[in-house]
Amino acid sequence: MCGIIGVTGIPDAARLAYLGLYSLQHRGQESAGIVAVDGAGVARSHRGMGLVSDIFAEPVLAGLAGDVAVGHTRYSTAGSSVLANAQPMLAGYREGPLALAHNGNLTNAVQLRADLVTKGSIFQSSSDSEVLVHLIARSEAREPEDQILDALERVEGAYSLVITIGRTLYAIVDGRGFRPLVLGRLGRGWVVASETCALDIIGATPCREVEPGEFLRLHGDELDELPRLPVKPSHRCIFELVYFSRPDSTVFHRSVDRVRRALGRELAREHPASGADCVFSVPDSSNAMALGYSEATGIKLEHALIRNHYVGRTFIHPAQAGRTAKVKIKFNPVREVLAGKKVVVVDDSIVRGTTSRALVQLIRQAGATEVHFRVASPPITGPCYYGIDTPTKGELIGASHSIAQIREHLGVDSLGYLSLEGMLRAAGGEPAEFCHACFSGDYPTEIPDDLERARHAAPLLAAISS
């Protein structure tokens, strides 16, 4: 899970990248980094573990001179959580410094890496993205864009990329378009970012999305559309709309907020809760869904759970041990709203079931007499191999338990999940346009056996981390 940004043709590009990363913080909270390239083609990098606000102090930004910059926020989906895996990657390269920031997961990275190591490549990190850097460097093509193309021909899976080679910025989305990327204009320069909310914060005007297979070259105020990568059937990640993206963003030509409201309305149609006194969300990702549910059923919308905003997403903490305890740190019920009430709780998804179970206990302790749990997506039955952090199949409650068993595990009076069809209807457009593999098991690429093992392997490079 990552957020990426690229800026070119604008003085102090690193400062804009920094602000953009602030808006993309929800896409990854383990590490962040910026590489800036100055007028002489000198690249400077700063990367750190933690939140954007902790990593970039004023003197650090002042040192990142230049009108070209790429930035990244990361939560590991491939490779462990160490500084060596923080991005952007920066390498000395025959065409000038090469910086790369990647959102997505390469499904054949384990095999490619093994081949490269056999041929003598020395890796600095355990992240799948470094494979791309090596493949670009090994290309025998003459032009940088052909070197990138050579590399992309070898990789499979999901990639939205911002790359700088020398002072030129490239923006690329894989042929299936798993992850979003949007192009914006600011003054005479360009900004590309994972979501429109990153353009909004710096005052850039959204121009259009970078479409599946697009390969853009941005240099100063020039924009060149290079030949597209081989076209594949689109597989936009539906989970971006359900959970991952911010509701104030436009993703895959859709307002995330509008889709989430529609998800709530579909959920209400499929799983009404007659006789309930109120409905509320598990803030913040399901706020718009609870609103849609309330609109469709007429059940009063309440704010019954208050979220402490000074804690990261509980799920985002890799250690399972801390998760249940963190629910209490993160959410507190409003007793006056809940006491003596029959309530409907709307959440966007259930992953392991640990958050939901702990929340239900809190809600009951606060005096609710009936708890009806509604989930605005189907049961998650398989991991994502394309860039969303989901645990192994064994940890996914939807993979091993029936809905009746999950209801019992959560301790709720009723449980309703939105159907796959309902979710796709709410997303609008063509159902075939989406990847919903984590719900349906319908993976659009081959999943090599070694991938699952590699995702959860022990850190390879712990010794060089700091």
In the complex with ligand AMP, which residue's Cβ is closer, 136 or 412? Answer: 412
Catalytic annotation present for 237: no
- C-alpha 395/C-alpha 210 separation (Å) is 35
CB of residue 125 to ligand AMP, shortest distance in Å: 22
Q: What is the CA radius of gyration of the chain?
A: 22
CB of residue 348 to ligand AMP, shortest distance in Å: 5
- C-alpha 117/C-alpha 113 separation (Å) is 6
Show contacts with ligand AMP in window 87-116 (CB under 6 A). Answer: none
The correct pick among 316, 334, 362, 460 for binding ligand AMP (CB under 6 A) is 316
Query: For ligand AMP, which stretch binds (CB under 6 A), given 178-186, 382-390, 403-411, 452-460?
Result: 382-390
Cis peptide bond upstream of 379, omega within 30: no
Query: For ligand AMP, which stretch binds (CB under 6 A), given 59-67, 162-170, 310-318, 456-464?
Result: 310-318
CB 371 within 8 A of CB 343: yes
SS3 110: helix
In the complex with ligand AMP, which residue's Cβ is closer, 219 or 352? Answer: 352
In the complex with ligand AMP, which residue's Cβ is closer, 15 or 74? Answer: 74
Q: How is the beta sheet containing 182-186 ordered, strand by strand? A: 43-49, 31-37, 68-74, 2-8, 189-193, 182-186, 205-209
- C-alpha 128/C-alpha 105 separation (Å) is 7
Q: Phi first, then psi: what are they for 5, rounded to 5°?
A: -150, 145
CB of residue 3 to ligand AMP, shortest distance in Å: 14
In the complex with ligand AMP, which residue's Cβ is closer, 208 or 456? Answer: 456
On the CB side of 197, CA atoms within 13 Å amount to 18
Show contacts with ligand AMP in window 415-454 (CB under 6 A). Answer: none
CB 174 within 8 A of CB 159: yes
What's the longest Cα–Cα distance across the chain?
A: 72
- C-alpha 400/C-alpha 394 separation (Å) is 7
Angle between helices 109-118 and 129-138 (to 10 degrees): 50
Q: How many residues bind ligand AMP (CB under 6 A)?
A: 19
- Residue 315 is a binding residue for ligand AMP (CB under 6 A): yes
CB of residue 16 to ligand AMP, shortest distance in Å: 27
Binding mask of the shown chain, residues 341 to 360, with x at each position contacting ligand AMP by CB under 6 A: ------xxxxxxxxxx----
- Residue 313 is a binding residue for ligand AMP (CB under 6 A): yes
In the complex with ligand AMP, which residue's Cβ is closer, 67 or 195? Answer: 195
Show contacts with ligand AMP in window 254-283 (CB under 6 A). Answer: 282
**Looking at the annotation, which residues are catalytic?**
2
Residues that bind ligand AMP (CB under 6 A): 243, 282, 285, 313, 315-316, 347-356, 388-390
